[in-house]
Amino acid sequence: MPETDMSESKLPIAVFLSGSGRTLANLIRHRDEHGLPIDIRLVISSRDDVRGLEIAKDDGIPTRCVRKRDHRDPFEHAREMFDPCRDAEVAYVVMAGYLNHVLIPNDFENRVINIHPSLLPSFGGAGMYGHFVHDAVLKRGVKISGCTVHFVDNEYDNGPIIVQRSCPVKPDDDADTLAARVFEQECLALPEALRTLL
């Protein structure tokens, strides 16, 4: 890992997102209210019309939009995503609801983490995100669900697990109620994982 500024023992991170920024907002809240020792140096979005960018700008975090469709070459797309992270000297990249597949460069191996709304390796893989996960959990009749924070490699939802948190699946759950219960655990699991990395 390259030299990074760990002044005051704060972990310098970038956040990749594609939507509402709920996970980014949770990280900011944990930083400000619970002393989570992170320095969010950059937010990169796959879309330019999402609430997540507004949340970042309101907090004074530099932002960029990198649309995958503008980069047919996956290696060029990866450069556009990770060169700004290198420039910002981040130690880790946090995928916070980032829905595109991006190649992980060699120098970012075991430096990109993702939070997934199931207990991996169950209910992971291509197309398994958001309510697709919770619908699949309910159809399968699973009694316990939860979330997983893991390192990202070049396969969907595959890298080594850092933290998992579980919650019950209730008999009257639908995808919305289960998603809300799992998200409560996500809000705890990701800060826990970042503290572990620090």
Full DSSP string of 14-46: EEEESSS-HHHHHHHHHHHHH---EEEEEEEES
| Total number of domains constituting the chain | 2
- Residue 2 confidence (pLDDT): 47
Catalytic residue selected from 34, 77, 101, 116? 116
Question: What is the mean pLDDT for each group of 10 consecutive residues in the chain (198 residues)?
Answer: 58 96 97 97 96 97 95 94 98 94 95 96 91 96 97 91 98 97 97 94
Full DSSP string of 127-152: T--THHHHHHHHHHT-SEEEEEEEE-
Asked if 69 and 26 sit in the same domain, the reply is yes
- Could you tell me the residue range of the domain that residue 153 belongs to? 115-197
- Residue 99 confidence (pLDDT): 87
> pLDDT tens, 121-160?
999 988 898 899 999 999 999 999 999 999 999 988 889 9
Q: Is the dihedral of CA 149, 154, 155, 158 positive or negative?
A: negative
- Residue 198 confidence (pLDDT): 85
1 occurs within a structural domain: no
Q: Of the residues 75, 108, 141, which one is the last residue of a structural domain? A: 108
pTM: 0.91
Residue 150 among the catalytic residues: no
Asked if 19 and 90 sit in the same domain, the reply is yes
Helix (H) or strand (E) holding 165: strand 161-168
